[in-house]
Amino acid sequence: MRTRRILFYTLTVVCLIGVLSGCSNKKAKINRVGKNSSKTGISYGNKKETDKFAPIDYKEEPPAPGLTLIQGGTFIMGGGEKDILHAMDNRERQVSVQTFYMDVMEVANVDWKEFLYYIQNEEGEFKVNELYPDTNVWRRDLAYNDPIAETYYAHPAFNQYPLVGITWHQANEYCKWRTKKVNDTKLEEDEEAVMYPSYRLPTEAEWEYAARGLQEGEIYSWAGKSLRNKKGAFMANFKRGRGDYAGWAGGDGHHLTDGYMITAPVAEFWPNDFGLYNMSGNVAEWTQDAYRLLSLEDVEDLNPYRKKGKTTLRPDQWLDDDAYSPGNSLLYYPSAKDSVGTGTPYDNAKVYRGGSWADIAYYLTPGSRRYMKADSASATVGFRCAMIKVGSPN
């Protein structure tokens, strides 16, 4: 009887594997063009025959270096915590995001050093100086952070720590270079290889969707309201309150304290359900979007994104450049043509998402939304890259 049962289970498994294999083969062939046109019956020929059209049969490829797949879907964007600042700039709404790829970890110091090494060889010292991170973001008038400023980027002990002191513009320069370098490497291996799409900053919708990690309706990037796991260890690197950047001394590095006064290595703490590290805490991250107070009311509900735009505001709502501050939501300034109250968009303000080592838990929620000038840098803001998923969403 037992032998018969084992045989039954074995046959069942074999049949299931066969069915799945058949499905897999069908999936693999679904994007095959074939040798002849399905509409005219004409032979496509091959690339060596100049009078023939020879389409490329695309075979699904693994993610580009550093990326992992983020299966797209519908989610409730915004909210997550009480709007204690009464900004009303991120009320909940349902949106959909297409499948895309995202960096598993934040861009680290060593990644930027690699970038500058090649820029030095290709474009020279002047370009390197333009792209060098601002190490002075660590300095404070009434704090002795000078040793951090001098060592955080330069010393190899911090190689695997998140890059900071980078502007939005510099982050985009890295994305362009990384795209070229990855595709050049691919071409060296196969001169007929299909190129990867561009690396880029994620939109704020993509960032939030990825940060939530399929934890719909949760406050943080993990299930539950606690900032610790079942063993009592902190789930993220953040500031617990005034003057408390790491917790009480005397812990084992993970229970009474998170172990880090400032940033932590990019693969420290626990990844979310998408396998992404530090989507809550460590450093906040740049996104593509220009900040608008009411983006939720006028962006699309499929792949929402605010590049730039124009809004009508009263003259008393205009903001001049000197009055800019990260706490001010009014991103417009007057011009000579604005006498009737039509504001000129101030597109230099870009959204950054996620909490950092210097932020309280309020900002750890994926729905929190802040902004900074695109040409500004901070010791609390870094970035990671994203890429569109071409072809099948699975």
11-24: burial string, b at 16+ Cβ within 10 Å, e else: eeeeeeeeeeeeee
Question: What pLDDT score does 83 carry?
Answer: 67
pLDDT band at 322 (very low <50, low <70, confident <90, very high): very low
Q: Has residue 4 got a pLDDT over 80?
A: no
| Entry pTM | 0.81
CA torsion angle 187 190 194 197 (round to 10): -30
Residue range(s) in the chain whose domain bears CATH number 3.90.1580.10: 67-309+355-388
**Rounded-to-integer distance, Cα 335 and Cα 343, Å:** 8
Q: Has residue 320 got a pLDDT over 60?
A: no
Helix axes 109-123, 168-189, angle to 10 degrees: 70
In CATH, what class is 67-309+355-388? alpha beta
Residue 107 in 3-state DSSP?
A: coil
Render pLDDT for 98-111 as a digit per residue (tens, 0 to 9).
999 999 999 999 99
Q: Has residue 247 got a pLDDT over 70?
A: yes
Question: What pLDDT score does 29 carry?
Answer: 66
